[in-house]
A and B are shown apart, each in its own frame.
Chain A
Amino acid sequence: MTIQIVPLGAGQDVGRSCILVTIGGKNIMLDCGMHMGFNDERRFPDFSYISKTGDFTEMLDCVIISHFHLDHCGALPFFTEMCGYDGNIYMTHPTKAICPILLEDYRKITVDKKGERNFFTSQDIKNCMKKVIAVNLHQTIMVDDDLEICAYYAGHVLGAAMFYIRVGEESLVYTGDYNMTPDRHLGSAWIDKVKPDVLITESTYATTIRDSKRSRERDFLKKVHDCVAGGGNVIIPVFALGRAQELCILIETYWERMDLRVPIYFSAGLTEKANHFYRLFINWTNEKIKSTFVHRNMFDFKHIRAWDRAYIDNPGPMVVFATPGMLHSGTSLELFKKWAPDPKNMVIMPGFCVAGTVGSKVLAGEKHIKTDSFTTIEVNLQVKNLSFSAHADAKGIMQLIRQCDAKNVVLVHGEKSSMGFLKSRIMTEFGIPCFDPANGTTVSI
């Protein structure tokens, strides 16, 4: 028997993760993401590959969503409500709770601000979420008599999971995005020694071995402190949930220690709600937060207040966490436009930006950025890039391959050039076959 793997998205690329797997006669879709660098039909995976006639429900045995980031779940309402998939969808509880909020947020920006038609509606999101079956970690779920799936902690964001899939004697692990080093609010990924026939792993940081956590944090805080001390404003584009909470905990404790009075704001009305989610899903955070939450909840911030648009003209230094994280729309773009011309100000780009977004242009060092045909932004402010994104680095990926004892490795969710490097390293170090298929190409194992 062979296992076939076809990436519909995220093959030698980052964004719109969607991988089709055939194992033991079962067809499974792993993630159903959208690409945020595009505004046309390229933002969704090419579902016509699965079926030309649209009978997706018959073709697929189940859809599994690894975590709530839009590049992993963004196309789900489109797939279920507009393409008509009606089968089983599995995700963890926190993902089920948070992903509709992000979807709704994204929908508002695309439809209301850009005035796009032919996009899913709020009701579509709700209907879609009703079809989702929430799973617990380590709980073995029998999708049907032969197909079983089991989720493991992935540590990338709240509720992120890796999935072990087994049909008969054939098995596969899909990692989604994961992190092998515990951070301030999440634990590290962990999996049993399940000896899968195939491990499909992300490879965002395939070539980097990041310097130690502590020095990165010190670096980050120093930059922020220096900037506000010089009277500048700091804008930190983030996604409302995930990295933002870690950075908030970090800044909050630093402000407390240094006794700083510079205001910190968090844009998007999501803050309160987001923090409430973290309080309710405290079981999914790390041991330290879990053991202390009764006395002091880490997600009750003292220094961080909700952002109001009126504050934009306030004088004097401030730190603003603004959504969305890739500067492609919303508050973060608005603030960036306003503050970009002044060299005193600073933008800190945490994590990764999809090609084509304003964020990626900023990172590329462009000095004049066209947002649309009428507006061009002068970029004079300081640009700092901090890889705070909780992905596993090369060392972490190798560690996971060893931990689960995989027989074959397939790399997805990464840049083509760096994948090649990691691929050769895996083959020499473990002596096992490794693949990095492009979108639409099939790997048979």
Chain B
Amino acid sequence: MRLTSLLPDGEPNCLVLKVRQMLIMLDCGLGQEQLYAMPVREGGLTEDHKDNSHNATPTGSTTDNATAGSKRKLQETDIRQDWASFLKASSTQFPTKKMARGPNSLQSHSSKTDSATTGTTSSGSTSTANGTIQAAGSNAPSKSMATREYMFKLPDFSGVDLKAIDVVLISNYNHILALPYLTEYTDFQGRIFATEPTIEFGRQLMIEFVTFFGTSVTSSPHEIIDRKELVARAGAGLYPAYTHADIKACIDKIQPVRFREHISLFGSLKLTAHSAGYCLGSSNWLIQIGTENIAYVSSSSTQGNLHPDLFDGTLLENASTVVATDLCPRGSFTYNTGVNLVCQSIASTIARKGNVLIPCTITGFLFDLLEDVHLHLNRMGLIGQVQYSFISPVADTALQYSNILAEWMAPRKQEMVYIPEAPLLHGLLLEKEKGIAKHYKSVHGAFSSDLKLPCIVFGGHPSLRSGPMVNLLHMWGNKATNTIVFIEPRMDVVAAMEPYENLAIAQQAVQLDIRLSVDQLVEVMNKYRHPRHILVPMRAIASTLPDGTVELADAKRTTSTSSTRWSVYKVGESVQLGMGSLYESVLLSEELAKGILPQAFGKVSFAPIAGSLSIYNNQMQLKPASVQGRQLLSLYTQRLLLGVMNLPHLLAGLTAIGVTNMDVSESEEKEGKEDKDTGVPEIKVEFELQGQAATIILREKETIVKCDENIRSLLREPILKCFQSF
């Protein structure tokens, strides 16, 4: 098997796994890193004010990069080079593309309606936003033409034959954003599997993504992205976001599954999703090919007090290889330690009549956090004064949809629907009569008229580069009584706040991380029968040992043992693992099974079986042979041998037939090499018989006799003497 990671450690997952003939893509996430190198924009763009905004916004980005922290500089320059070269290329294309749009009116129409829904015209705050950024920035007019678009770096598809991918497995909504690129812009033809909630939350996240970072009316990605080119040099360039039409087409291609639903493909590949405990519908996948079991452990959580269904470890019971991804970095806040800080921070802000901004996606542990925050405010007696607002183009759908997923929740939450009651608290808070919580598509319209201060706002994009948080930061950012609380893991708070450096708003970064840490991973692995191989990402290890295995960065510094081998995978490098599987499972027909008469040999019993092997749909069955087959079989009937080839017996046997000068040499196991001929320990016996040189090589699973044909028959006896026959 071969595993290649297409995105760097710390980014969402995108891996390609090749096992036997199958090419499987594990998740299809979009890199988030480059977001911080991008300009700030509000909501979306509209035809009316694009002229001022495209002058203003890109200049903002230039400054952001100039002042960026040193640790990020290298990466950014890379991206910026890519970006610049892309811009150069695309700016020359622009005029011709525009000319060519005449007949393509349907397309342009659809993109117009897209932008009309996404880019609700902003009011006065737009000019403030531009003003602020422009004041901080310098001019870069040459790039203004095309930088209206946000550009995204895809997983590195360059080394992958996308057409050959058989299956894509999605583990949760965090790792799905690049999927429309794969399905709509390449010649990918495989099948895609995800759980129902993953599909729905993934769809919502894509819509949010397009609304925040989608293209303006001047171009649609279909015009810019040349399909063939993307396939040819994927990974090399940056691409604009896809469209709403792409999302729909992509989502329609995903086949929904449920936990522990057995999916069987091509007769030989079996796939099963198991609950990962991370969010609603989050799954780990068990991939079974022949007798080989590979467990793909994506974002998982063993935290017991959250709303998603609990972590289901049964997939590890039979796994021979485990691929672990998306681990929580060292030193993160766990949910239990961080949640109090978040509550305190919110409560103290509300107590001083300040507003709280929480940039986050409306999914995942937010639903648990909300319950804890509400409880805390209640205890502090602050509940009467506060209003929760959820602002996102999908806030309404996300909040309502999450509450009908009781079957995907922890048993404690499942019980609630039997009462019946909404399993998640926000169902209660959102009830109209209560008016404690409200949801809005964007900051424009009803939000400002409904607004009751103080207010806690959830939503927007954690990068703070687009969406409602941008407006709200300009509105409330210069007051020190307000607080912005960062709760999302996987994001860079410093980079996110760069464009807002001078704002007085209080900042609190409590990035709650419920994912498995390295310690927890080791703990989980120890609980189940040990797999032979465990593959972990770079961040999980402390050092690499000389023999190619690794020392883990957990408290006990776990290393490989004889039964379990830990190794590491990195972006762009493929890891090869020998599967060492010599067996296939074959179904024995009832008729044939009845005729088995085992004979005892010491402690074990054996029985010979003869039949004809039929292969249909990759499933093998051993059936009684036909009359004709039986005749053929009888020709091949041999003595069956039982025993182990051992050296003393062999040497004694050789002496008996007159061999005298025997040269016996043993070679040790050589670690780390997959090469078949040298890696296996062996015993070599060299001698001369009747004047001719001969060699017998004994290995664990084979014996090789090298000699001339005329003495081969003489060697037969001593070798057979090592075995019992029946």
A96 on interface, CB distance cutoff 8 Å:
yes
Within 8 A of A (CB), among B403-453: 403-407, 414, 417-418, 420, 422-423
Q: Which of A115-123, A138-146, A356-364, A373-381 contacts B (4 or more CB under 8 A)?
A: A138-146
B9 on the interface (CB 8 Å rule)? Answer: no
Is the Cβ of A138 less than 8 Å from the Cβ of B257?
yes
Select which of A100, A137, A139, A281 is within 8 A of B404 by beta carbon.
A281
- Mark A110-144 against chain B: 1 for CB-CB distance below 8 A, else 0: 00000000000000000001000010111111000
Given contacts A93-B417, A276-B420, A294-B396, A138 and B258 within 8 Å (CB-CB)? yes
CA distance A319 to B417 in the complex (A): 31
Q: CB-defined interface of B351-385 with A at 8 Å, one 1/0 digit per residue?
A: 00000000000000000000000000000000000
137-185 of chain A: CB within 8 A of chain B: 137-141, 150, 169
Whether B543 is near chain A, meaning CB under 8 Å from some CB there, is no
* Chain A residue at smallest Cβ distance from B427: A280
A-contacting residues, B236-276, CB 8 Å: 257-262
Distance to closest chain B CB from A314 (angstroms): 29
Chain B hits for A273, CB < 8 A: 420
Assuming the contacts A139-B259, A139-B261, A294-B400, asked whether A283 and B405 have C-beta atoms less than 8 A apart, the reply is yes
Q: Measured between C-beta atoms, what is the minimum distance from A213 to chain B in Å?
A: 27
Which residues of chain A in 200-216 are interfacial with respect to chain B, using CB atoms and an 8 Å cutoff? none
Bits for A78-112, please: 1 = Cβ < 8 Å to B, else 0.
00000000000000010011001000000000000
Complex contact A97–B407 (CB within 8 A) = no
B404 touches A279 (CB 8 A): yes
Complex CA gap A280/B424 in Å reads: 11
**Nearest residue, chain A, Cβ from B416:** A280
A273 to chain B: closest residue by CB: B420
Q: CB distance A277 to B414 under 8 Å?
A: no
Contact partners of B260 in chain A: CB under 8 A: 139-141
Tell me whether A136 and B417 are in contact (CB under 8 A): no
Q: Name the one of A100, A139, A276 contacting B258, with C-beta atoms under 8 angstroms.
A: A139
> For B262, what are the chain A residues with a Cβ–Cβ distance below 8 Å?
140
Using an 8 Å CB-CB cutoff, how does the interface string of B445-482 with A read, 1 for contact, 0 for none?
A: 00000000000000000000000000000000000000
Write the chain B residue with the least CB distance to A278.
B420
- Please encode chain B, from 602 to 637, with 1 for each CB lying within 8 Å of some chain A CB and 0 for all others: 000000000000000000000000000000000000
B417 near A293 (CB under 8 angstroms)?
A: no
Indicate if A426 sits at the interface (CB-CB under 8 A): no
**0 or 1 for each of A202-232: is its CB under 8 Å from B? (1 = yes):** 0000000000000000000000000000000
User: With an 8 A cutoff between CB atoms, is A18 at the interface?
Assistant: no
**Complex Cα gap A132–B442 (Å):** 44
Query: How far is the CB of A292 from the nearest CB of chain B, in Å?
Result: 11
Q: Are B401 and A134 in contact (CB under 8 A)?
A: no
Instruction: Using known A-B contacts A136-B258, A138-B261, A139-B259, determine if residue A294 contacts B397 with beta carbons closer than 8 Å.
Output: yes
Contact A282 B404 (CB under 8 A): yes
Assess the A294–B401 pair: CB atoms within 8 A: yes
Across the interface, name the chain A residue whose C-beta is closest to B309: A136
* Interface pair B422/A280, CB less than 8 Å apart: yes
A138 to B258, CA, bound (A): 7
The docked-state distance in angstroms from the alpha carbon of A273 to that of B257 is 30
**Hey, which chain A residues are within 8 Å of B420, CB to CB?**
97, 273, 276-277, 280
Q: In the complex the two chains form, what is the Cα distance from A129 to B420 in whole Å?
A: 15
Q: How far is the CA of A281 from the CA of B420 in the complex (A)?
A: 10
Interface string of A259-277 (1 = CB under 8 A from B): 0000000000000010011
Residues from chain A with Cβ under 8 Å of B590 in the complex: 169
Known: A294-B396, A294-B397, A294-B401. A136 touches B257 (CB 8 A): no
* Complex Cα spacing A280 to B405, Å: 8
What size tier do the contact residues of chain A reach? 20 to 34
Evaluate whether A96 and B400 lie within 8 angstroms (CB atoms) in the complex, with A138-B258, A139-B261 already known: no
Task: Assess the B404–A280 pair: CB atoms within 8 A.
Answer: yes
Distance of A311 Cα from B397 Cα, bound (Å): 39
A305–B418 alpha-carbon span in the complex (Å): 24
Residues of chain A from 366 to 390 with CB closer than 8 A to chain B in the complex: none
Contacts of A137 in B (CB 8 A): 258
Residue of B nearest to A280 (CB): B417
Chain A, range 232-289, C-beta contacts under 8 Å to B: 273, 276-277, 279-283
Q: Is the CB of B422 within 8 A of A293?
A: no
Q: Which residue of A lies closest to B396 (CB)?
A: A294
Min C-beta distance of A143 to chain B, whole Å: 13
Closest to A274 in B: B420
Give the CA-CA distance A129 to B258 in the complex, in Å: 24
Partner of A97, one of B396, B404, B417, B422: B417
Tell me if B400 and A93 are in contact (CB < 8 A). Answer: no
* Interface residue ranges of B15-45 to A (CB < 8 Å): none
**Which residue of chain A has its CB nearest to the CB of B423?**
A280
In the assembled complex, which residues on chain A have CB atoms less than 8 Å from the CB atom of B259? 136, 139
Q: Beta-carbon contacts of B149-179 to A below 8 Å, as 1s and 0s?
A: 0000000000000000000000000000000
Q: What is the CB-to-nearest-CB distance from B53 to chain A, in angstroms, rounded to a whole number?
A: 32
Q: Which residue of B lies closest to A92 (CB)?
A: B407
The residue on B at minimum CB distance from A129 is B418
A283 and B261 in contact, given A97-B420, A294-B401 (Cβ under 8 angstroms): no
B314's nearest neighbour on chain A, judged by CB, is: A142
Interface string of B639-672 (1 = CB under 8 A from A): 0000000000000000000000000000000000
Contact between A281 and B396 (Cβ–Cβ < 8 Å)?
Answer: no
Please name the residue on chain B nearest to A94 by beta carbon: B417
Cα A169 to Cα B260 with chains together (Å): 20
Residues of A within 8 A of B403 (CB): 280
Is there an interface contact between A283 and B417, defined as CB atoms closer than 8 Å?
no
**Nearest chain B residue, comparing its CB with the CB of A279:** B404
Report yes or no: B418 in contact with A97, Cβ–Cβ below 8 A: yes
Residues of A within 8 A of B258 (CB): 136-139
Which chain A residues lie closer than 8 Å to B418 at the CB level?
96-97, 100, 129
Q: How long is the Cα–Cα vector from A100 to B257 in the complex, in angstroms?
A: 29
Give the residue name and chain of the B residue nearest to A97 (CB): B418
Q: How far is the CB of B485 from chain A (nearest CB, A)?
A: 28
Contact partner of A280 (CB less than 8 A), chosen from B257, B396, B406, is: B406
- Residue pair A134, B414 in contact (C-beta under 8 Å): yes
Q: What's the Cα separation between A388 and B445 when bound, in Å?
A: 46
Cβ–Cβ contact A293 & B400, under 8 A: yes
Contact of A281 among B196, B400, B401, B417 (CB under 8 A): B417
Most buried by A among B403, B417, B420, B590: B420
Which parts of B385-409 form the interface with A (CB within 8 Å)?
396-397, 400-401, 403-407
Measured between beta carbons, the chain B residues less than 8 angstroms from A169 are: 590
Across the interface, which residues of B come within 8 angstroms of A134, CB to CB?
407, 414
Return B400 CB to nearest CB of chain A, in Å.
5
By the criterion CB–CB under 8 Å, are A93 and B407 in contact?
yes
Contacts of A100 in B (CB 8 A): 418
Residue in B closest to A100 when the chains form the complex, CB atoms: B418
Provide the residues of chain A in CB contact with B261, threshold 8 Å.
Answer: 138-140, 150
- Inter-subunit contact A93/B422 (CB<8 Å): no
With a cutoff of 8 Å between Cβ atoms, the chain B residues found around residue A293 in the complex are: 400, 404
Residues from chain A with Cβ under 8 Å of B414 in the complex: 93, 134
CA distance A261 to B484 in the complex (A): 53
Measured between alpha carbons, how far is A134 from B406 in the docked complex, in Å? Answer: 11
- Complex Cα distance, B404 from A409, in Å, reads 37
Separation in Å of the A158 CB from the closest CB of chain B? 12
Shortest CB-to-CB span from B258 to chain A, Å, is 5
Q: How far is the CA of A97 from the CA of B405 in the complex (A)?
A: 14
Please give me the residue from chain B that is nearest to A1 by CB atom.
B590
B 545-565 binary contact with A (CB < 8 Å = 1; else 0): 000000000000000000000
Residues of B whose CB lies within 8 Å of any CB of A are 196, 257-262, 396-397, 400-401, 403-407, 414, 417-418, 420, 422-423, 590
Q: Apart from A97-B420, A280-B417, what 11 extra A-B contacts exist at CB < 8 Å?
A: A97-B417, A136-B407, A137-B258, A138-B261, A139-B260, A139-B261, A140-B260, A273-B420, A283-B196, A283-B407, A294-B397
Q: What are 9 A-B residue pairs whose CB atoms fall within 8 Å in the complex? A: A93-B406, A136-B407, A273-B420, A277-B417, A280-B406, A281-B404, A283-B407, A294-B400, A294-B401
Q: Which 4 A-B pairs have the closest CB atoms?
A: A138-B261, A139-B260, A97-B418, A282-B404
